[in-house]
Amino acid sequence: MRACGPAAVHSLQIYDVGSNASAADSSNTIRSVENQPCHIRCVAVGGYPPPSLRLSVDRRRDVTAEFALRSRAKISGRRGMRLITCRTERVAVSFRPRADDHGARLKCVAAVQGLKPVVEYAALDIDCK
């Protein structure tokens, strides 16, 4: 059996689950209210081994720990020609944007060791209470 080398991430997307639209479909802007829970996901499709996902707000603040990690693999194809597709995501569980996050960019980085990371951004439009 031959071992596979690293494979690149096919797509990376940040979106607000509550809006039913991806950030890319809404000019890469996620709207929320300060100190209120968000329903944001960063989803990477592809990558082997499954990529690590890290999130930050304008490089000032690493918010990765505020997002739960989920990963699953789908196997398709016939024996001997199997294809493994990994889906890795970070889902907001305790991320509550601050008023000073307004206008900042949320950055998601998907990295497979030995390959160039894939980066996606979404602008944060935060309303004050």
- For 73, residues 6+ apart whose C-beta sits below 8 A from its C-beta are 50, 84, 85, 86, 87
> Distance between CA 103 and CA 3 in Å, rounded?
45
Mean pLDDT, to the nearest integer, of 35-42? 92
Which residues contact residue 90 at a Cβ distance below 8 angstroms, ignoring those fewer than 6 apart? 41, 42, 53, 55, 64, 67, 68, 69, 70, 108
pLDDT score of 77: 87
In angstroms, what is the C-alpha Rg of the chain? Answer: 16
The pLDDT of residue 6 is above 60: yes
Q: Name which residue leads in pLDDT, 99 or 18.
A: 99
Residues linked to residue 118 through DSSP beta bridges, in sequence order: 110
Task: Domain 7-127: give its CATH architecture.
Answer: Sandwich (2.60)
Number of H helices, E strands in the chain: 0, 10
Q: What does the pLDDT look like over 73-89, one tens digit per residue?
A: 888 888 888 888 899 99
In the prediction, which pLDDT does 22 show?
44
Binning pLDDT at 50, 70 and 90, where does residue 19 land? low
Average pLDDT of the residues of the chain? 88
Domain edges within the chain:
7-127
Greater pLDDT, 26 or 120: 120
